[in-house]
Amino acid sequence: MSLLLFDTILCLLLLALALASILSRQLAHAVILYIAFGLMMALAWARLAAPDLALAEAAIGAGLTGALCFSALAHQQIQLKPDVLSWPQRLWPAVFVLLMLGGVLAALLQLPPTASQLIAVTQAGLGNSGVSHPVTAVLLNFRSWDTLLELVVLLLALLGARQVAPEVKPATSWSLSLSWSRLLAPMVILLAGYLLWAGASQPGGAFQAGALLAAGAVVLRLNQQLSWLSWSNFWIRLLTVSGVLVFVLTALTAILLTPGNTDVVWLRWPPQLAAGIILLVELFATIAIALTLTVLVAGEPASTGAELGCGEGV
């Protein structure tokens, strides 16, 4: 009973925060409310027995998206008077949304209470997958094609954002925050390594570790450290694409190692090598994710303006 009470409060809080974020007058308030919403969402997912996702949501939904939205707010022009919508402008969308919501909810209530049979199939395949944590097994073995494409999407977002991003003004550093970020950096690296390693048997994995590393790097970057971390540096580019590159090259090597029709064994890891391969792929994915997210959030260091020749219009 008390758990149901907790669930009810949590759900109401989620709905209220989302609504407030949509309806608040000022954009800054909307962003802050959205971050609070993301944190509550992470709590809800932890409650629903999904700790991997709660970790990822706290890092992404609340942390990363929030940071990105704040840096977008900085570019936003200050509005002197907030836009006020007339009643018909609010009413008709509301009617439409309520109708659609009614339809969707009516369908959702028909969902069966039993889960997919795939759970049993996954557990049966776990022995040959090389890892003991089922989510990691699905991500990097059973459905690794999805994960590979996902890494490509992340890389693409970086390419697109880099292409259009306006110049960033260098942040002013300050001794206290600088020394604190320096103190944090080794701890962040240690924790990210742990998350990556833990992913094989318990909640954790490449993305969570990468997001954490990126957070550390962004803090350092905002304090004007790590000036070598830019796209025009060949090694940085190599490491950023290495997430996808190592994935593909490993898969190709695995094809060479196993005889048979190439289409069938594409992305099949030999069972005795699977654990090592997955760790290798995850390691480079973590590095690539961390670098990508860092450049996405903190932008290029301002000093690279002079040496564009490497990455731009040849």
Partner 1 sequence: MTDLSPQLLLYIVTAGGLFGIGLYGFIVGPQTLRRILALNIIGAGIFMLMVVLAYRGLADDASLPSTDPVLHALILTGLVVAVSATAFALALLARLNQAKAAQCSQDQLRHKQGPGQ
Partner 2 sequence: MMVVLLVLPLLSALFMLLWPRIAPLLALLTASVCSLVALQLLLLVSQQGSQQVLLAGWPSGLAISLEANSLSSLLILLTALLQLLVGLYAFATHRRDKLGAGFWPLSGMLQLGLTALWLSRDLFNLYVCLELLGIVAVALVSLSGDKAIKPALNYLLLSLFGSLCYLLGVAILYGAYGVLDITVLASQWQADLLSSTALLLMTLGLMLKAALWPLHGWLPAAHAAAPAPVSALLSALVVKGPLFILCLLWLQLAGATQVAAVAPWFAGCGLAALLLGGVSALRTPFAKNMVAYSTVAQLGYAMLALGLLLRFNQPLFAAALWLFVLAHALAKATCFLAVGEITATLGGKRISTLKGASQTMPLAMFAFAVAGGSLIGLPPSGGFLAKWALLQGLWLQGGQLFWLLVIVLATLLSAAYVFRAVVLAFNRADPVAPDFAPRILPQWLALLPALAVWAMALYSEPLLQLLKQEGL
Partner 3 sequence: MDCAGQLSVLSTVLSSLLLITGLFFFIAGSVGMLRFPDSFSRLHAVTKADSLGLGSIVAGLMFYGDLWQNLLLLLIWLLVLASGSVSCQLLARFAKAQQDRVQQDKT
Q: Which residues of the chain form contacts with partner 2 (CB under 8 A)?
A: 103-104, 106-108, 110-112, 115-118, 121-122, 125, 141-146, 149-150, 152-153, 156-157, 159-160, 163-164, 234, 237-238, 241, 244-245, 248, 252, 255, 262-269, 310-314
Residues 170-189 that bind partner 1 (CB under 8 A): none
Which residue number, 178 or 311, has a Cβ lying nearer to partner 1? 311
Which residue number, 65 or 224, has a Cβ lying nearer to partner 1? 65
Which residue number, 95 or 310, has a Cβ lying nearer to partner 2? 310
SS (H, E, C) the chain: CHHHHHHHHHHHHHHHHHHHHHHCCCHHHHHHHHHHHHHHHHHHHHHCCCHHHHHHHHHHHHHHHHHHHHHHHHHCCCCCCCCCCCHHHHHHHHHHHHHHHHHHHHHHCCCCCCCCCHHHHHHHHHHHCCCCCHHHHHHHHHCHHHHHHHHHHHHHHHHHHHHHCCCCCCCCCCHHHHHHHHHHHHHHHHHHHHHHHHCCCCCCCHHHHHHHHHHHHHHHHHCCCCCCCCCCCHHHHHHHHHHHHHHHHHHHHHHHHCCCCHHHHCCCCCCCCHHHHHHHHHHHHHHHHHHHHHHHHHCCCHHHHHHHHHCCCC
CB of 180 to partner 3, least distance (A): 5
Binding partner of residue 194 among partner 2, partner 3, partner 1, none, CB cut-off 5 to 8 Å per kind: none
Q: Which of 177, 201, 227, 253 binds partner 3 (CB under 8 A)?
A: 177
Q: Which of 92, 96, 180, 228 binds partner 3 (CB under 8 A)?
A: 180
Which residue number, 220 or 277, has a Cβ lying nearer to partner 2? 277
Residues 121-150 that bind partner 1 (CB under 8 A): 122-123, 134-135, 137-139, 142-143, 146-147, 150
Residues 182-211 that bind partner 3 (CB under 8 A): 184
Q: Which of 131, 181, 207, 251 binds partner 1 (CB under 8 A)?
A: 207
Binding partner of residue 310 among partner 3, partner 2, partner 1, none, CB cut-off 5 to 8 Å per kind: partner 2
Q: Which residues bind to partner 3, rule: CB under 8 A?
A: 174, 176-177, 180, 184
